Structure formats: C-alpha cells, structure tokens
Copies of this chain bind each other. A is one copy, B any other.
Amino acid sequence: MSDVSNLIREMGRKAKAAALKLAACPTSVKNAALIAMADALEKQSERLRIENEKDMAQARAEGLNAAMLDRLKLDPKRISAMAKGLRDVATLTDPVGEILKDWRRPNGLRIQKVRVPLGVVGIIYESRPNVTADSAGLCLKAGNACILRGGSEAIHSNRAIADVMSAAGKTSGLPDHSVQLVPTTDRAAVRELARLDQYLACIVPRGGEGLIRAVTESATVPVIKHYNGICHVFVDKAADAAMAEKIVINAKCQRPGVCNAMETLLVHRGIASDFLPRIAEALMDRKVELRMDTAALALIQRSGISNQKSKLLRLATEADWRTEYLDLILSVRMVDSLDQAIEHINTYGSAHSDSIVTRDETAARRFLTEVDSATVYHNASTRFTDGGEFGMGAEIGISTDRLHARGPMALEELTTYKYLIHGSGQVRE
C-alpha cells in the first residue's frame, strides 16, 4: 500500500474509534467544545491570518482571479463569522437520542427506534476555508467524527483551522481525532477516502460537478451528492401577475449564482400575452439575458422593445433547458398547459426546487404532487430552499440524492438510527 493509502487508512481507524466515543458524548460536552472552538478561532485569529497569507501568496503567484482570491481570503470579520457559526450550532437541539418510534410486539418485545450519529463522515470540498469550521461543527453536534479534505489552494488555512479546533476540542473533553484534516494535498487521498468503507459511514462532496462525479466514480463509501439546481418557476394562467413578477424577479436576480436560483421560466399560454412582455421588460431592466422558445420570442418581438434591450434576447436551444447558468441569464418557454409544464420540469430539471404561481388550488395540488423534485413551491420563490430558511439552523448542503437526505441537509440528516429491543427472555419459535 502507498503512503497516502496508509495515511488515510490510519486516519479512518482513529476516526472510527473517536466516533464510538462521540456517540455517547453528552450534549453539554459537545456544546462546550463548540464554544471553546469558536473562542479559540477568534483568539488565534492572527495565526490563522498568517497561515492564510501563505495560501493567498501562492494563489497570487499562480494567477488566480479576483473572485477566487476573495473566496480564499480570511480576515478578522470572516474568522468571527466562522466562530459565530459554531456558537449558533451549539444552540441547536441535539438530534442524538431522539426516540423516533417505540412499540411493543405481541410477544412482549419492546422495540425502540432511536436516532444515533452516522459515525465517521468524510467531507470533500473546495476553496472556502470556512467550510472546514462549518462542516466540523455540524458533524460534531450530531455526534460524528469527521475527516475533512479541503482544496489544495487552502491547505495552510485549513490545517490551521483544524488544528485550533482539535486543540480546543481536546481541552473540552472531546475524544482525540474527532476532527481530522487530511494533511496532504496529494490527489490520491480523495480516492482513498472514497474507498474507506471499512470506517466511513458516508462522504459529502461539496463543490463543482467535476469533484462530485470524480468522488462518485471511485467511491465504495455511500456518497450524498449535491449536484446542480436547474430550478423552474411556472406562471400558470390563473396566476396573480403582480405576485408572479415579484417571485420571478426574486428567484432569478436576488442571488443568481446559487443552486436554488431559477434558471428556467415557464409561462402558460393563457397568461403569456399579458405577462410575458411585462416580465421580460422587468428582467431586462435588471440586465437579465433571455433565451426564449420560438413562441415566447415572437410574442416579445411583436410587443415592441427597444434596440438596446433586444440585445438581451436570444432563441433558446435544447441545451439551454438543461443549463445551470448561475448568472443573469434565463431560459423562457411558453407552455400550453399545466401538464406540459410538469413534463418540462420532470424532463429537463434537476429535481431541486420548482415553483408554481397560481390562484388555482387544484393546479397547485397537481404541481406539488407530480413535479418530482425535492422541494416544490406554491406561490413562493425557489430561493427558500436552504437549511436556515427551513428553520434547521444550519446546513451542510442541499442534497440532490433521493436516499437518506433530500433537499437541505442539516443535523438530523447527519444521523441514522438503531433499534433497541427490550425483552424478558423471548426466543423465536
């Protein structure tokens, strides 16, 4: 076995030992550790900044662009935000120990289904060093040990954050190796981690599609995937046009670079002649490029628009319906019916978040039932798909998988269950 293989295997073994102890760790100890970690991060802000500067210097030398440099940077404000995140997690309800079901069988056996930690969670992520603190905090609160593998561009920052957190955790009475960071930037470590099914309960990759595909491809450990969001808003013929405009603008423009932003607008033919020109104007006022199907484009062109704005209009191609722009670009299609809208979403969408705007309760009910997505909305923006907005307190990501965790993934989704069976000598006949 290679050195990296041995290193990762040894980390896995230690993490599993830590996880067995963490599973029985009282809430008070976990909370005290989270707060001690937050304090330590703030107290050692200067050390973090020095380590971060090493990453920044390297990134500048490699010519990373301004946006990437900004993502990488740690300053006192961001360090405080990390600390606040940990303190917030300390205030959340501990999911471990919750009795999910409790029943008695005719033979007298009492069966309890109880929430317990997953065990060891692997997190593989890119760029932003705050993910190190956020992920470790959520894993710990749910009683899990974690093995973190950040991007090589942030290795000094991530090591420093993990060191500070580990030391504070130890002082607070957490088991050794509750939080471990893969210390090497060797790419082979990702594959080794993904194949460590002997010790890891699951892997959560956080990052671009390339990273997620690479992890899934090599994994024997279960992976909870966080793919893209091709989210739709369908403006039904029975929509309140003012409400629809507000929702469409919000879903597209409030923060276009995130997975729950709308990428495709579907407009019912029965409301299109009123609604489409109006929403197109409003979107183009906000510099949104519109990629429209033939019917929608013809309608807009007939409505008369300025030369200036017409530069923002294009005919959509088939590929557009499948594209996550993460930018001020929107695909627009006119549909003949609710059925066609549902079929479009189930064909081209990514089963993430989709919304119908309508006053017709029957249409809404059908949309919510038949659209095969993790989160389906009636008369609200898709932008609410978020652990915080759902009231979960925090999230480790938004799962696009259907198994175990679907949609926002927070503390409960970082747990599993076991059955406790209380008998009085029962044997099977």
Q: Mark A58-76, 1 if CB is under 8 A from B, else 0.
A: 0000000000000000000
Q: Which of A103, A243, A428 has the most CB of B within 10 A?
A: A428
Number of chain A residues close to chain B: CB under 8 A:
65
Q: Which residues of B contact A220 (CB under 8 A)?
A: 216-217
Closest to A378 in B: B422
State whether the Cβ of A327 lies closer than 8 Å to any Cβ in chain B: no
Stretch at the interface among A171-179, A182-190, A381-389: A381-389
A20 contact from B223, B346, B384, Cβ within 8 A: B346
- CA of A153 to CA of B235 in the docked complex: distance in angstroms? 54
Closest to A417 in B: B406
- On whether the beta carbons of A428 and B222 are closer than 8 Å, the reply is no
- On whether the beta carbons of A375 and B222 are closer than 8 Å, the reply is no
Known: A220-B217, A247-B425, A426-B384. A201 touches B402 (CB 8 A): yes
State whether the Cβ of A379 lies closer than 8 Å to any Cβ in chain B: yes
Q: How many copies does the complex hold?
A: 2
State whether the Cβ of A24 lies closer than 8 Å to any Cβ in chain B: yes
- On whether the beta carbons of B201 and A403 are closer than 8 Å, the reply is yes
State whether the Cβ of A287 lies closer than 8 Å to any Cβ in chain B: no
Known: A216-B220, A379-B423. A119 touches B402 (CB 8 A): yes
State whether the Cβ of A254 lies closer than 8 Å to any Cβ in chain B: yes
State whether the Cβ of A374 lies closer than 8 Å to any Cβ in chain B: yes
- On whether the beta carbons of A384 and B201 are closer than 8 Å, the reply is no
- On whether the beta carbons of A426 and B380 are closer than 8 Å, the reply is yes
A109 contact from B118, B250, B380, Cβ within 8 A: B380
- On whether the beta carbons of B380 and A118 are closer than 8 Å, the reply is no
Q: Which residues of B contact A223 (CB under 8 A)?
A: 222
- Find residues 354-407 in chain A having any chain B CB closer than 8 Å to their own CB: 368-370, 372-381, 383-385, 389-391, 401-404, 406-407
- On whether the beta carbons of B376 and A420 are closer than 8 Å, the reply is yes
- On whether the beta carbons of A372 and B23 are closer than 8 Å, the reply is yes
- On whether the beta carbons of A421 and B377 are closer than 8 Å, the reply is yes
State whether the Cβ of A348 lies closer than 8 Å to any Cβ in chain B: no
- CA of A401 to CA of B379 in the docked complex: distance in angstroms? 39
Q: Mark A14-46, 1 if CB is under 8 A from B, else 0.
A: 000000100110000000000000000000000
- On whether the beta carbons of A423 and B217 are closer than 8 Å, the reply is no
Q: Which residues of B contact A407 (CB under 8 A)?
A: 418-419
- On whether the beta carbons of A427 and B372 are closer than 8 Å, the reply is no
- CA of A418 to CA of B390 in the docked complex: distance in angstroms? 13
A222-B223, A224-B403, A381-B427 known; 7 other A-B pairs, CB under 8 Å?
A: A105-B390, A246-B425, A251-B427, A377-B423, A380-B421, A380-B423, A380-B424
- Chain A residues proximal to chain B, CB less than 8 Å: 20, 23-24, 103, 105, 109, 111, 118-119, 197, 201-202, 216-217, 220, 222-224, 240, 243, 246-247, 249-251, 254, 346, 368-370, 372-381, 383-385, 389-391, 401-404, 406-407, 416-428
